[in-house]
Structures are given as structure tokens and as C-alpha cells.
A = this chain, B = another copy of it.
């Protein structure tokens, strides 16, 4: 159909070895979503969140360009982050860099998919695991 660009880019960020107190801090996570949305050059419409007992936070920022979600497992020092944006102006990978900096993982992986290719599966644009000592943002 001659489609040259995807409709959206979806960054799937796995954060391992994060400080558990950060992962259980609802205010920190909401602020991270706000800052991440700005770094992605996206427009945050609304954040919805929930704090679990005894621990864990789930939060989603609804963006004009799709969403930014954070789900945390403090007992595993793990956070699952998604940044899905559309439009040529947005920079979801910039948000990933900032979130790695904020969440202080010892290790992380980034899978970048492009979505909305007519009649096709998402394309895998990037797929990598990084040790924290290799993260420039923590250097």
C-alpha cells in the first residue's frame, strides 16, 4: 500500500535491580511519568494510578500520542515500562533514557517495536540488554 512510515513506536523497557523504595513510591512514579512524557515530547492528558498493599504500584499516563505505563514489583526490584507514541515529533527513546536514569536499574532491556504497518505484525527495530555500567545516563 506504499506505507513508508509506521503509525507508532512502542518502547518496551524492562528495569531490573531497581531500589525497592523507589518502586513502591507512588509520587515518584507519577513524577517519572510526567517527566518521561515531556522527554518523549508527548502531551500528557491524565495519569491514573493505584498503590497495592503490601507493595507495588501500577500507573498509566494517557498521552495524546498513546500511553506511558509503569508497573512495579518492589519485592523483585523490577519495573515493566511501556512508552507507546505516534507522530513524527515524539521521541519515546528519549523518555526511556530518562526513565533508566530515574529508576536506577542495575540492568535493563529495551525492545523497540514499530506499529501500525498495514496488515503486518509490529516490526522489531531494536532489541538489547544493557548492564548498568554500560548505561551512559548513569556514567
Interface residue ranges, A against B (CB under 8 Å):
7-8, 10, 12, 14, 16, 45-46, 48-50, 52, 58-60, 62-64, 66-67, 69, 71, 73, 76, 78, 80, 82, 84, 86, 107, 109, 111, 113, 115-122, 127-129
With beta carbons under 8 angstroms apart, the residue of B14, B60, B113, B120 that contacts A60 is B60
Q: A127 to chain B: which residues have CB within 8 Å?
A: 121
Contact in complex: A62, B64 (CB < 8 Å): no
Nearest neighbor of A106 in chain B, beta-carbon distance: B119
Query: Separation in Å of the A67 CB from the closest CB of chain B?
Result: 5
Contact in complex: A7, B58 (CB < 8 Å): no
Query: Separation in Å of the A5 CB from the closest CB of chain B?
Result: 12
